[in-house]
Amino acid sequence: MLKVDFVLLTVSSTTFNKIQQIPQNKILGYNIMDDPKFHAYWHALGCPTDDEDIKEEFYNPVVLTKWHTMITIALPKLPEERDEKREIILETIQRCREVHQYRYMSDKTILFSLEFYSLEKKLKVLKDNFHVHMLVKGKYAKLDRKRIIRDLSKKFKVEANFVDVKYHSSPELFSTREEYIKGTKQESKDIAIQKDKEERKAFEIEDFYFLSV
């Protein structure tokens, strides 16, 4: 069992004050929701007794993980005409910013970037591939995949199968995905990375954007 000295909470002020009364050395375990000692203290304090209520009010502290969701949105091919292309790029950035307006995303931090090319593995040639990557992390352990796909397919005006959502809790994978969005990828993709950077510079946009809570 792993002892934790702190608790991450998304609770009302009343419930928060009650939880502060729990002796810290009694909050044990990687999955505190399975700890009968925790349930005993929770119930004794008059907090919700139904497991679903507990899950709604209490965030399970997993100190050694980074809960995150990686979202990739494949977008239609950009037009050749520069002004029209620029307009679509700026509209896409704005739509990415508006993702924060969804209630379930409003308390999340989001790192996102626009990419224009990808490397065709077999032929080892560049191809047009306009898409968005979003790395979402926040207070909750998991986001609703179906809801994300539904909302973002509407937001970006693409079919549902053009929105890919991957959820994980690995700190190593989080770091890898963060580097991926920032442009630090495997060597085989260096050509695509460089072309993406050139395209962003040409249209005067950032390599990546960060939306904070």
Q: Could you report the per-residue pLDDT of 25-50, keeping only the tens digit for each?
A: 334 333 454 555 555 554 555 554 44
Residue ranges, CATH 3.40.1310, the chain: 68-211
The Cα–Cα gap between 172 and 167 comes to 13
> Does pLDDT of 106 surpass 50?
yes
Q: Is the pLDDT at 81 greater than 50, yes or no?
A: yes
* Residue 170 pLDDT: 83
Average pLDDT over residues 178-206: 85
The CATH-assigned architecture of domain 68-211 is 3-Layer(aba) Sandwich (3.40)
Q: Confidence band (pLDDT; 50, 70, 90) for 192?
A: confident
Report d(CA 151, CA 131) in Å as an integer. 17
Nearest to 88 by CA among 100, 72, 75: 75
